[in-house]
Amino acid sequence: MKKKLLLFLGAILLILGFAKLSSVNADAATIKATDWGAKKVFTTPKKTRGVWYYKEGKKVKKFKITAHTIDGVKLYKELNGKTLIDGSIS
């Protein structure tokens, strides 16, 4: 009985440990524009906005460009002099 209980508790702790590791890695991989000091949103020209189609293999795919987003990803102005090299800002 004690062996089964210890085995069960050990399995629970192992699962919780893996869950914690995966959530830490997901948070660390997120880079925000504000981390780079970007505050101004980029506005796309009116002629480039709309739904665009392209061919990938035999499938036709589309993406949408709005005034400040491409496929829902917000655009920011380029910052001069800052580049990301191996995870550090230089």
Residues 21-78 pLDDT 10s: 655 545 456 666 666 666 778 888 899 899 999 998 999 999 899 998 888 888 887 6
β partners of residue 69: 74
Rounded Cα distance between 76 and 33, Å, is: 7
Rounded Cα distance between 17 and 7, Å, is: 15
Residue 10's pLDDT is 73
β partners of residue 84: 89
This prediction has a pTM of 0.48
